[in-house]
Amino acid sequence: MPGVFPPFRPAPSSFPPDRTVLPVLTAQTALFLDFDGTLADIATEPELVVVPDDLIGLLEQLSIRLDGALALVSGRKITDLDGFLSPLRLPTAAEHGAQQRMPSGDMLSLAAPPLHEVIRVAQALASQHTGLRVEIKSAAVAVHYRHAPELETFCLQALAEIVKITPGVELMQGKCVFEVKPSGISKGSAMQLFMSAPPFSGRLPLFAGDDTTDEAGFAAVQAMGGAAIKVGEGISLAVYRCASPAQLRQWLRSSLQALDKPEAAEVTAHQRQVDEAAS
Ligand SMILES: [Mg+2]
C-alpha cells in the first residue's frame, strides 16, 4: 500500500537485547524527549493528560545543566506542548517536525500539504462512527480510535485511499491513532536538524520515546552514535528500555543529581583550597 507506514515490526534478529540500566546523561548529551507516553502517561483523551508536579521544574533544570541542549520531539501541536509545560518554552519539534522551534526561538514551519479532502474524509468517518475523533493540526490530520479499536482496519482503509490520491502526504500509525502528515518528515529528521547547530551540535544525542512513530527517531540518534530509550512494551530498535513514564522521570531526576555532582565537587574542592590558603 503506497504511502502507508504499517506498524513498525523489525525482525527479531535485527535488534539487540534491551538494556534496562539506562545510559548516563552527561554535560555533553543532547537530550530529546517525546511527551505523551514518555514524560507523561497517556490519557483517555489527549487534552486530559496530567503533567506530573515536578516535571516542568525538572525539564527546566536539565535544560540549564545541558546548556540548552534539551528539546521536545512530539507529534502534538506546539500549542498543546506549550500549554502543558507553561511557562517553560523549550526547543520543540512538534507535529513530527512539521513545526520546529529552534533554540533561537525562531519557528520553522513546513507549508501544509493540501489537506481539505483528507479532512473531509476524516470528518465523515467520525460523523458516521461514534468513538472516532478527528484532530486537525497545522500540517496534518489525525484520526484517534482509542474508544473504537474495532474500527482500526476500517480507518486504515479509508485513510489509505485518500492518501493515495493526495500529493505530498503519507499515512502513519501511532498508539490508537492514524495520522496523515507531510511526506518525508519524521522525528528522526527533526532531531538531525537540531543536531546541525548549537547548542546541540557536537553532542551525543539521546532520545526517549514510547511509540512506533518514535522508531525513526531511535534509528536516527543511534546512527549518529547516540542512544535511544524505548518507554514501555513493544518491539523496538532502541537499545535501552524502561518500563514507564514514571521510571523515565526517575531516571531524569537521578541524571540531574549526577549532573549537579561534578559542580558540587568543584565547589567543595575550591572551598578546600580557600580554607587551606586561609589556615
Ligand atoms: Mg509518545
- Domains in the chain with CATH codes: 28-107+185-267 (3.40.50.1000), 116-182 (3.30.70.1020)
| 6 neighbors 227 (Cβ within 8 angstroms) | no
Q: Residue 277 — pLDDT band, cuts 50, 70, 90?
A: low
210 alpha carbon, distance to own chain's centre: 8
**Catalytic site positions:** 34
Please tell me which residue, 141 or 269, carries the higher pLDDT value.
141
Report the first-to-last Cα separation within the chain, whole angstroms. Answer: 78
Strand ranges across the sheet with 141-144: 133-136, 141-144, 177-182, 169-174
Query: Residues within 5 Å of ion ligand 1 by Cβ?
Result: 34, 36-37, 210-211
CB atoms under 10 Å from CB of 195, counted, come to 21
Separation of CA 35 and ligand 1 centre (Å): 6
Whole-structure pTM value:
0.85
8-state DSSP, 108 = E
Q: Residue 1 — pLDDT band, cuts 50, 70, 90?
A: very low
8-state DSSP, 36 = B
Separation of CA 239 and ligand 1 centre (Å): 17
pLDDT for position 21 = 83
Cell of 136: 486537525
Q: Which amino acid is at 58?
A: L
Q: Residue 46 — pLDDT band, cuts 50, 70, 90?
A: confident
Rounded Cα distance between 66 and 63, Å, is: 5
pLDDT tens-digit series, residues 205-242: 999 999 999 999 999 999 999 999 999 999 999 999 99
- β partners of residue 19: 240
pLDDT for position 11 = 44
Taking 80 as the threshold, does the pLDDT of residue 268 lie above it?
no
pLDDT tens-digit series, residues 175-210: 899 999 999 899 999 999 999 999 999 999 999 999
Q: Which residues contact 259 (CB under 8 A, 6 or more apart)?
A: 25, 26, 27, 62, 65, 66
Separation of CA 163 and ligand 1 centre (Å): 23
Average pLDDT over the chain, rounded to whole? 88
